[in-house]
């Protein structure tokens, strides 16, 4: 009788272990890419670029040439006119080159 109880307990433990592993198993999936998640790239509109550049303290803002995800912006800050390289997808100024004194 003891052997029968031991066998039943072992079978019960095996059933519990098998059911918990299937619940914890990894999901099957496929990934094709180069290690970066694919997400839609949402870039700023011209209006939003103007607002962001103005928030940095610039006035007399003119948008020049869009180049891929960047846009050239000419703007005045203090007594100087700057040529700004603005990344419209990241929403940040990449560089600002002082052109001339403002008139």
pLDDT digit string, tens, across residues 3-60: 666 676 666 666 666 665 555 555 566 555 566 666 556 899 999 999 999 999 999 9
- Number of Cβ within a 10 Å radius of residue 14: 10
Q: Per-residue pLDDT tens for 48-97?
A: 999 999 999 999 999 998 888 999 999 999 999 999 999 999 999 999 99
**Rounded to whole angstroms, how far apart are CA atoms 36 and 4?**
56
Give me 4's structure tokens. Answer: 């029968």
In a domain, 45, yes or no: no
Instruction: Collect all residues with Cβ–Cβ distance below 8 Å to 100 and sequence separation of at least 6.
Output: 80, 81
**Rounded to whole angstroms, how far apart are CA atoms 24 and 94?**
46
In a domain, 79, yes or no: yes
In a domain, 49, yes or no: no
Boundaries of domain holding 77: 62-103
In a domain, 83, yes or no: yes
In a domain, 76, yes or no: yes
In the block, which residue shows the tokens 């999936």? 29
Structural domains in the chain (count)? 1
């Amino acid at each position: 009788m003891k052997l029968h109880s031991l066998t039943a307990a072992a079978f019960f433990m095996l059933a519990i272990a098998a059911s918990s592993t299937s619940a914890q198993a990894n999901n099957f999936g496929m990934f094709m890419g180069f290690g970066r998640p694919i997400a839609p790239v949402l870039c700023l509109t011209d209006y939003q670029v103007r607002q962001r550049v103005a928030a940095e303290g610039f006035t007399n803002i003119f948008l020049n040439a869009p180049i891929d995800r960047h846009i050239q912006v000419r703007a005045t800050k203090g007594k100087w006119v700057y040529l700004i390289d603005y990344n419209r997808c990241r929403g940040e100024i990449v560089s600002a080159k002082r052109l001339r004194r403002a008139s």
